[in-house]
């Protein structure tokens, strides 16, 4: 869906470097989410945000930082990347209507060497 | 918190056969159960969902059933086609707050022509 985008789509970095993954949505959805997807683990929630300036931890938050100063943007930062953070990262958004459907971005494939 | 178990992890069928994927959940307060389909290299997309006040929902060749007493729900795909080959994720969430879903680990469905 063109309404939610992620950048970069692919990223290779080295252990210890800081990396920021960007997520932008044009629907003005209240909720935004970051997931990581690894083989055998499905989709695991890292952080989510219910509105601008409101964020909360998910299942696997360690090593990640998020912010949400504007409704449309939800960047995810790896402060000091580790090899275990090699993964595919999906951003998602949903409305505040309570329907529950999540709309996923195209994903970012991150490799930490 | 909520725990969602999904089985099988891999399902191989012949074109035209039916496929069934099953999920169980632990939190009896969960009341929204979406299913997402993720084709290779693509983002997850919602294909069908069901709420706890409904026992079954159909959309053409796919259907979802819900047994609240047993706390399990299933995805049924009839007359499978090669384009049904994908990873399918179930999820469970509940009203109150942000409808944050807990995902199962996924089922890789392979439809052989």
pLDDT at A25 over 90: yes
pLDDT band of residue B24 (cuts 50, 70, 90) is: very high
- Judged by CB atoms closer than 8 Å, whether chains meet at B101 and A102 is answered as yes
Q: Which residues on chain A are in Cβ contact (under 8 Å) with B46?
A: 101-102
pLDDT at A97 over 70: no
H, E, C per residue of B53-105: CCCEEEECCEEEEEECCCCEEEEEECCCCHHHCEEEEEEEECCCCCCCCEECC
User: Residues B93, A45, B89, B4: what is their CA dihedral angle, to the nearest 10 degrees?
Assistant: -50
Between B6 and B101, the higher pLDDT residue: B6
- Average pLDDT over chain B, rounded to whole? 93
Structure confidence at residue B94 (pLDDT): 80
Q: Is A5 on the interface with B (CB under 8 A)?
A: no
pLDDT tens figures, B80-93: 999 999 999 999 98
- Judged by CB atoms closer than 8 Å, whether chains meet at A43 and B44 is answered as yes
Structure confidence at residue A96 (pLDDT): 65
pLDDT band of residue B99 (cuts 50, 70, 90) is: low
Nearest C-alpha in A relative to B43: A106
What integer is the mean pLDDT of B21-46? 94
Structure confidence at residue A41 (pLDDT): 83
- What percent of chain B is modeled with pLDDT above 90? 80
H, E, C per residue of B4-16: EEEECCEEEEECC
pLDDT tens figures, A75-87: 999 999 999 999 9
Structure confidence at residue A98 (pLDDT): 52
What integer is the mean pLDDT of A81-96? 94
Output the six-digit token pair for B67: 């047994």
Structure confidence at residue B93 (pLDDT): 87
* Distance from the A59 Cα atom to the nearest Cα atom in chain B, whole angstroms: 9
Output the six-digit token pair for B68: 């609240």
Q: Which residues on chain A are in Cβ contact (under 8 Å) with B95?
A: 98
Chains A and B: how many Cβ contacts under 8 Å? 49
Nearest C-alpha in B relative to A5: B43
Pick the closest to residue A36 from A17, A15, A19 (CA basis): A19
Q: Is A45 on the interface with B (CB under 8 A)?
A: yes
């Amino acid at each position: 869906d063109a309404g939610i985008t992620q950048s970069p789509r692919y990223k290779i970095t080295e252990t210890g470097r800081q990396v920021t993954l960007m997520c932008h949505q044009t629907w003005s959805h209240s909720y935004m989410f970051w997931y990581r997807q690894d083989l055998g683990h499905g989709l695991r929630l890292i952080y989510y945000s219910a509105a601008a300036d409101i964020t909360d931890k998910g299942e696997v938050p360690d090593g990640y930082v998020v912010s949400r100063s504007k409704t449309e943007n939800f960047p995810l930062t790896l402060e000091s990347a580790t090899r275990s953070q090699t993964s595919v990262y999906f951003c998602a958004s949903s409305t505040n209507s309570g329907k529950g459907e999540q709309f996923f971005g195209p994903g970012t494939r991150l490799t930490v060497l | 918190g909520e725990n969602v178990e999904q089985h099988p992890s891999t399902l191989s069928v012949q074109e035209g056969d039916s496929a069934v994927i099953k999920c169980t959940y632990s939190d009896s307060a969960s009341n929204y159960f979406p299913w997402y389909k993720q084709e290779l290299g693509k983002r997850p997309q919602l294909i069908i969902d069901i709420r706890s006040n409904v026992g079954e929902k159909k959309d053409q060749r796919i259907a979802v059933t819900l047994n609240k007493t047993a706390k399990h729900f299933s995805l049924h795909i009839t007359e499978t086609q090669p384009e049904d080959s994908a990873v399918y994720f179930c999820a469970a969430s509940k009203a109150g707050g942000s409808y944050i879903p807990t995902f199962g680990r996924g089922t890789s469905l392979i439809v052989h022509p």
